[in-house]
């Protein structure tokens, strides 16, 4: 068996920053450190931090007053920020700057009186946070069919934004449908889908043609990881989303000679290596790393955390 190891894969700059934040908070302040929602959507990462003393909550009522609280990489609404302040919590904002960019665009369009079509998945933490910036102005759009059902009072004051972790192809189809229905619609100055999401999808699109099966390391609640699996299947290739080697089923590989291995933006390299070790042991696989582009993006730690731990 030949394994093509896709690059770039795994952690993006936003995930790296969020994980560094939580690591540093635990080292600096000790356990417990509370986190609103999962720090990133990855089972392995969350379980690792639980063992270190992080407590993940979905309701701020669970957080004792005056505690240290981290906002996850997916961002939160102004309502949650206010609730944290009211409980006298020391809040550290680990929101990915590319998510913050979408929040600021939503605020800008809403102040100008625009109706905003937010292209995304209902219930996703990022979408909930973004919609919370201007709930009266934002309409969620998940499909092209949703576009056809839209009733807009003033089509000349209409804008669109997107969740950062969508399928590029799906988002493009929805945006094109919006532009066809509403020619005056405005979009963000720069596309909202993040660089890492685009790069990992591009790698599967380019390298997947050389494989009969794609393994995506990532958790089921990871939007960008799900898109990688879907992209493989749309190309007519078997695709599986797994948390680690223990999820692999040997029957998947019957008649398979070439396997593409990649990882979603919240999956750590440890689980990738574990998967590769399994394939080498069970199938005598050879590994070939193939890079489609380099990533050199880095986000600094939040100012409030640097100040708290006296980092300059």
152-200 pLDDT, tens digit per residue, is 999 999 999 999 999 999 999 999 999 999 999 999 999 999 999 999 9
Rounded to an integer, what distance in angstroms lies between the CA atom of residue 93 and that of residue 158? 30
Query: What residues have CB less than 8 Å from 61, skipping those under 6 apart?
Result: none
Rounded to an integer, what distance in angstroms lies between the CA atom of residue 179 and that of residue 141? 14
Q: Is residue 311 pLDDT above 70, yes or no?
A: no
- Helix (H, G, I), strand (E, B), or coil: what is residue 90? strand
Query: What residues have CB less than 8 Å from 23, skipping those under 6 apart?
Result: none
| Residue-level pLDDT at 310 | 77
The DSSP string of 264-294 is -TT--HHHHHHHHHHHHHHH--EEEEEES--
Q: Is residue 44 pLDDT above 50, yes or no?
A: yes
Q: Average pLDDT for residues 89-112, to the nearest whole number?
A: 98
Q: Average pLDDT for residues 78-88, to the nearest whole number?
A: 98
Residue 41 in contact with residue 68, Cβ under 8 Å? Answer: no
| Residue-level pLDDT at 273 | 98
Return the number of other C-beta atoms located less than 10 Å from residue 142's C-beta.
Answer: 17
Catalytic residue among 47, 79, 122, 126: 126
| Residue-level pLDDT at 309 | 86
Q: Where are the alpha helices (DSSP H) in the chain?
A: 13-29, 43-52, 78-86, 97-111, 125-131, 144-149, 168-181, 195-207, 223-234, 269-283, 303-308
Q: Average pLDDT for residues 84-93, to the nearest whole number?
A: 97
| Residue-level pLDDT at 312 | 39
Q: Is residue 274 pLDDT above 70, yes or no?
A: yes
Rounded to an integer, what distance in angstroms lies between the CA atom of residue 279 and that of residue 207? 18
Q: Is residue 39 pLDDT above 50, yes or no?
A: yes
User: In what order do the strands lie in the sheet containing 138-141?
Assistant: 138-141, 115-119, 158-162
CA distances from 73 to 149, 152, 267 (A): 32, 32, 14
Our answer to whether residue 144 is catalytic in this structure is: no
Q: Is residue 115 pLDDT above 80, yes or no?
A: yes
Rounded to an integer, what distance in angstroms lies between the CA atom of residue 183 and that of residue 201? 28
DSSP 186: B
Q: Is residue 212 pLDDT above 90, yes or no?
A: yes
| Residue-level pLDDT at 234 | 93
Characterise 310 by phi-psi region: left (phi > 0), alpha (psi -120 to 50), beta (else): left
Q: How many percent of the chain have pLDDT more than 90?
A: 98
Mean pLDDT of the residues in the chain: 96
Residue in the block written with tokens 């958790």: 219
């Amino acid at each position: 068996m030949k394994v093509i190891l896709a690059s770039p894969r795994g952690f993006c700059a936003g995930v790296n920053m969020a994980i560094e934040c939580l690591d540093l908070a635990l080292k600096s302040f000790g356990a417990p450190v509370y986190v609103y929602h999962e720090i990133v959507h990855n089972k392995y990462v969350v379980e690792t931090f639980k063992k270190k003393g992080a407590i993940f909550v979905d309701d701020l009522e669970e957080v004792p007053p005056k505690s240290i609280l981290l906002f996850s990489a997916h961002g939160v609404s102004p309502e949650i920020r206010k609730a944290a302040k009211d409980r006298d919590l020391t809040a550290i904002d680990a929101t990915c700057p590319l998510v913050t960019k979408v929040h600021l665009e939503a605020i800008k369009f809403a102040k100008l009186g625009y109706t905003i079509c937010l292209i995304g998945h209902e219930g996703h933490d990022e979408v909930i946070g973004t919609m919370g910036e201007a709930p009266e102005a934002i309409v969620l759009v998940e499909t092209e069919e949703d576009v056809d059902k839209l009733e807009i009072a003033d089509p000349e004051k209409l804008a669109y934004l997107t969740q950062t972790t969508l399928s590029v192809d799906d988002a493009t189809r929805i945006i094109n449908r919006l532009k066809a229905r509403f020619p005056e619609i405005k979009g963000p100055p720069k596309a909202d889908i993040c660089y890492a999401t685009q790069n990992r999808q591009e790698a599967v699109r380019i390298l997947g043609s050389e494989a009969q099966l794609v393994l995506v390391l990532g958790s089921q609640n990871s939007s960008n990881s799900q898109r990688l699996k879907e992209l493989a299947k749309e190309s007519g290739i078997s695709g599986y989303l797994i948390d680690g080697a223990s999820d692999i089923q040997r029957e998947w590989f019957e008649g398979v000679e070439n396997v593409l291995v990649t990882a979603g933006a919240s999956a750590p390299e440890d689980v990738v290596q574990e998967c590769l070790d399994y394939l080498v042991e069970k199938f005598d696989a050879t590994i070939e790393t193939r890079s489609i582009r380099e990533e050199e993006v880095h986000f600094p730690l939040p100012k409030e955390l640097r100040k708290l731990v006296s980092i300059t």
